Amino acid sequence: MITESRYQSTDNTDYYQIADRCLLSPYNIDASGLQQVLDQILMHEIDYADMYFQYNRSEGWMLEEGIVKSGSFNIEQGVGVRAISDDKTAFAYSDDISMTALEAAAKATRAISSQGGSQSVQVAANAQIQKTPSLYLPEDPITSLRDTEKILLLEKLERYARKLDPRVIQVMASLAGEYEVILVMRSDGMLAADVRPLVRVSLQVLAEENGRREQGVAGGGGRFDYAYFTEDILREYADKAVQQAVTNLSARPAPAGAMTVVLGNGWPGILLHEAIGHGLEGDFNRKGSSAFSGRVGQRVAAPGVTVVDDGTLARRRGSLNIDDEGNPTQCTTLIENGVLKGYMQDSLNARLMNAPLTGNGRRESFAHMPMPRMTNTYMLNGDKDPAEIIASVKNGLYAANFGGGQVDITNGKFVFSAAEAYRIENGKITYPVKGATLIGNGPDVLTRVSMIGNDMTLDPGVGTCGKDGQSVPVGVGQPTLRIEELTVGGTGSA
């Protein structure tokens, strides 16, 4: 399992106190008032109800060619009210936090009872504050640096990149920060809160040689403040982005055809996330629309393949103290030694599937309903040295980094483009290639894994996942992998 340093623990009541000061007290709302609203909903044939309060303050800065090209600052707050009867959900939201708005939303959600429902339940008499882990500090990244210092940080990053290679002709650097406070009140009497910092730095460089231009990208972040971005971290981002761009300047056309492919560690886990992870989310499997539906207990991957979703890693971009339904996140084993063990669940799908709750209920904002979503999804280590894996390939492709991709959840078919890739010949990496796309089927690819490295790492903190129009921050990771007979699209000869 991954070893992650832990931040200083924070008293769990601090989260609730911050949420109360931010979301309830300014509007003369308290826990007893929230219980009254839930009581109104549960007078009808409703199985479950909850309220999700959110305050979000975010900013973004972009520097291009030494000039601040854009700067943004946004504040958003509101509440979403949800009522569930059997498999039906009623949902209403408002950006007005007040008892009047809550009562109006409660009235709207009660309409679901007219559609029929199961036995009504009664809200708990006294709200109990949920105790949760402290995976990150409740700090505000936006106030951790003055605006002038944020610009200096980006200017420093640009200077580092330009000094590395004279072929760098353009640099774009951006900084983003977010401070989010959430509060969940549920009909079972649970009251939970979280304070979620999130930061990210992104760097894109353009290099030119003999009329040919290529780009490189790098960056990272997580749940902490801007102090994380030390000079060493910024230099690392610059090194990676420039190295990728200048490497691609000498890249030849990628070969085409079925061949052995070696996937690098870390960010290439995005293929695992897209082609396999989404297919292991509970809603798709409850509806029977996933390629993994009904296959729990069956072998779905090669021996040695173990995949987990872990929302409990300290300070990681995809981690949460609690999910957006107030449940603590956990490390869920999805595939163990090639055998499918279970799915990621929110409360609705877990109940309907009679499956364990995994703390994967996530939503983009108060204006969206929660659904099963990934947190940090990765494959565990094997026992092979990465150099041994490369040396074992006579003729193949090494995909070190990925760009965009597409996947069909119903059958697992995917297409991914490699942002940085190399030809492997007689056990050695020989030259970079350009334009490589990987084409395959997620469940099928898992069975073609023949060697698993011992170098598992997570991505640097840049992932954002989209599903049904909602975007949430996530993490991915994997060790170096050898995959047999994967189809590669390209314009060169194999």
- What is the per-residue pLDDT for 275? 86
The percent of residues above 70 in pLDDT, for the chain, comes to 93
What is the pLDDT, as a whole number, of residue 122? 39
Q: What dihedral do alpha carbons 116, 369, 372, 310 form, nearest 10°? A: -140
Give the tens place of pLDDT for each residue, 324-359: 999 999 999 999 999 999 999 999 999 999 999 999
DSSP assignment of 256-289 equals -EEEEEEEPSSGGGHHHIIIIIGGGBHHHHHTT-
Angle at 114 between CA 109 and CA 115, to 5 degrees: 100
- What is the pLDDT confidence band of residue 14, given thresholds at 50, 70 and 90? confident
Facing residues of 488 across strands? 257, 438
Q: Give the C-alpha separation, 311 to 46, whole Å.
A: 30
Beta strands 257-263 and 395-407 are parallel
Give me the mean pLDDT over the 262-286 stretch.
Answer: 94
pLDDT of residue 110: 74
Mean of per-residue pLDDT scores for the chain? 91
pLDDT tens digits, residue range 175-215? 999 999 999 999 998 999 999 999 999 999 999 999 999 99
pLDDT at residue 407, as a whole number: 82
Q: In the predicted model, what is the mean pLDDT of residues 388-409?
A: 91
CA distance 302 to 389: 16
Tokens of 30: 């308290």
Among the listed ranges 231-235, 311-315, 368-372, 443-447, which one has the minimum average pLDDT value? 443-447
pTM value is 0.93
Mean pLDDT of 469-473: 96
Q: Give residue 125's pLDDT.
A: 45
Q: Per-residue pLDDT averaged across 289-317, rounded? A: 96
131 or 13: which carries more pLDDT confidence?
131
Helix, strand or coil, per DSSP, at residue 245: helix
Q: In this structure, what are the phi and psi dihedrals at residue 223, rounded to the nearest 5 degrees?
A: -95, 80
> First CA to last CA across the chain, in angstroms?
37
> Percentage of the chain with pLDDT > 90?
82
> How many Cα neighbours within 13 Å face the side chain of 272?
35
pLDDT digits (tens, 9 = 90+) for 95-129: 999 999 999 988 888 766 554 443 333 334 456 77
Let me know how long the chain is.
494
Kindly state the tokens that stand for 112. Answer: 């679901």
Residue-wise pLDDT tens digits, 218-248: 999 999 999 999 999 999 999 999 999 999 9
- Summarised one tens digit per residue, pLDDT across range 61-79 is 999 988 999 999 999 999 9
CA dist 396 and 260 (Å) reads: 5
CA distance 252 to 298: 42
pLDDT for residue 10 is more than 80:
no
Task: Report residue 26 as tokens.
Answer: 């300014």
